[in-house]
Every structure is written in structure tokens, then in C-alpha cells.
Chains A and B, each alone.
Chain A
Amino acid sequence: MRKPPSFPGLTRAPCIGGPPDSRGTVFEEWGEVNDQALNRFLSGVERRALRMAAISTGSPDDALDIVQDAMMKLATRYAGRREAEWGGLFHRILQNGITDWHRRNRVRNRWRPPIGDGGAATTAPPDPVAALPATARHQPDRKLHDADTLAMLERAIRHLPLRQQQAFMLRLWEGLSVAETARAMGCSEGSIKTHYSRAVKNLRTALEGYWP
């Protein structure tokens, strides 16, 4: 099992967008060694970050934009911080980017004139299980094709409320602690526990019969 990463930076209450403190302004000392360290760090997180954004937005292009922005913000604003802090800062920036994407999308959809049937797009999202082929839906024991299981999992995660989705991905996939996740999402530890347990419950319900 993959060892959960540790992001001590999250315990320092990073101030995203705020003024860098004395630890964050040592750009004169930046050099090839730091280039390599930053490159190594970003290489280690970029794939999961992209998948996380893609699952949340449902758009691979938008996901890439979000991850690019997160990388650039980390590099230009916080690369001077201690390396141990980068993980926490990156996840906070990334989650802010994903949240902003959903906010912009919501506003755009609200103001976009309804098309065709008068706004059917605003109805509830489809049930991920109902979207499966009929044969699979009526044979829960049947092992789904690999691609189907991933598509189904992605749909189920995407249809979680955003905060549940973020708590689930950061806790389960990134292996962040409750405290680290709370820092990354900018909310209390109690909220994280609630979001996470609800997310697990909802996913179990949505995927029941198709997963172990």
C-alpha cells in the first residue's frame, strides 16, 4: 500500500494569496538544486492532481488548466517556502482552483438562457448505476469491465457534493490526515469528518453490488 505523504506545511495554516512571511522570501538563494526539488515535487503530485480535477470537473482540458494554474501559483508565490510546506500549499491552491471552477460554472449556467426544452440541464444529475448497460445493471455479480468500473466510480464521485468530493479525495487518495485536509479545504476538522463519512456512505450506496 502506498505510504501516505506527509505535508507539514498544512499544520502551519498557510495563507494562500496573502503576503509571504520571512520564510517565503529567499528567492535570492534559488538555484538549480531548488529547481530540481520543485520539479521532483511537482512530478510526484501532478498525475493525481490532474485526475482529481478531471473527475471533479468532468473536463480534461479544464482540469489541465486548473493544475497548470496551481503549479504556476505554487512556483511563483511559494517556491521560496520550505520544501516540506509545498504539499500542503499545493493542495490548498488546487482545491481553491477546483472550487472556483464550480463557482464560475454555476454562475454561467445560471445566466445562460435555457436551450431547447427550457432548461432540462438543471434537473438532477443522472444516477450512475442507471447509466450502466442493462446487462450489467441486472447482474450485480458480474464483473464489470475495467473501463466501466472507472467510469462508474468517476460518475459517482462527481455527483457527490463538492465538499464531500474534496474531503474524500484528499483523505482517501492523497492520504492526508483530518487536520491536513481541513487546512487544504479551509474548514474545521469536524466538518472534514462529516464530509468524509457522508461521502463514503453515498459512494457505497451508489456502487453497491459492483465493488468489493
Chain B
Amino acid sequence: MKQSESDPFLDAVRERLDRSADELDELTLARLGAARRRAVEAAGRRNPGPLGDLLAMGRAGHRRWWLPGSLLLLLAAAWLGLNRPAGPGMGALPLVEDLAILGSAEELEFYRDIDFYLWASGEPDKD
């Protein structure tokens, strides 16, 4: 966008952002470098294809995770159904989408912390 090039405000924003990228600390740069090297090494391996993430576990791996994954989703659905917080607009939630996200591997931390959140939310009631 050429119009932005002569705008002092946008020039200042761009310059400040550039500088912040140049001033990253050594630890962060080292972690970035390590991630880059892992990616470059992985590039030489065979292309896993569009289902690569799934197939990378192998067929046995897929079978191994199917049952616990389904049980986890069912348990999550039951728990969320019973403990669903009230709030405006909650009725229109895309439940399936939420469960898919909450059931993903990245959300294990969330389930680990559930006890803490329940305990914390119950604390004021005891006062």
C-alpha cells in the first residue's frame, strides 16, 4: 500500500515493530533457531500427504486412540452438560464445534486444571 509509505503515523508504527523484531532476546532467538532447524530437517523426509498427521501415528496408532478419544469426548459432553455456566447467548453455542476443540490433545491441560477451577469458583460461596 503506497499511501501508507508517506504516512508518519504508519511509518512510526512500522519502524517500532521492526525494531521490536530486531531486539528479540537471545533465548527466544535460540528457540526460534532450534524450531527452524527441526523444520528444515523434517523437510527432507517424505511428504506425508494431506492425511499425514493422522497416518503418521500408523493404523495401529489410530485404533489405539479411537476408543479413549471417544470416551473422553463423551465424558466431556456429560460434564459440560451438567456444569454449563449460565450466560447471555449461551443457547446458540455450536456445541459440536466446542467439543471438538475441547477434545483435542492440546486441551489436556484444561482437563487437568478443571479441579482447580471448580475449587476456585466454589471458594466465594463458602465465605
Contacts and interface: CB of A to CB of B under 8 A. Distances in A.
Given A1-B11, A47-B24, A108-B102, 19 more contacts: A19-B49, A24-B47, A27-B46, A35-B44, A46-B35, A64-B28, A68-B39, A71-B35, A71-B36, A75-B40, A76-B45, A103-B101, A110-B90, A110-B93, A114-B85, A115-B117, A149-B16, A212-B8, A212-B12
Interface of A: 1-2, 17-20, 24-25, 27, 30-31, 34-35, 38-39, 42-43, 46-48, 50-51, 60, 64, 67-68, 71-72, 74-77, 79-80, 103-104, 107-108, 110-116, 119, 122, 149-150, 153, 171-173, 177-178, 196, 200, 203-204, 207, 211-212
28 contacts: A1-B5, A1-B11, A20-B50, A27-B44, A30-B44, A35-B43, A43-B36, A50-B28, A50-B32, A67-B32, A68-B35, A76-B43, A76-B45, A107-B98, A107-B101, A110-B98, A112-B110, A113-B117, A113-B121, A115-B117, A116-B124, A153-B13, A153-B16, A153-B17, A172-B14, A203-B13, A204-B9, A212-B11
Contacts of B120: 115-116
Contacts of B49: 19-20
Interface in B40-65: 40, 42-50, 52
B38 interface: yes
B106 interface: yes
Nearest to A42: B36
B110 A108 contact: yes
B20 A172 contact: no
A42 B34 CA distance: 12
Main secondary structure of the interface of B (DSSP, over half): helix
B86 to A, nearest CB: 9
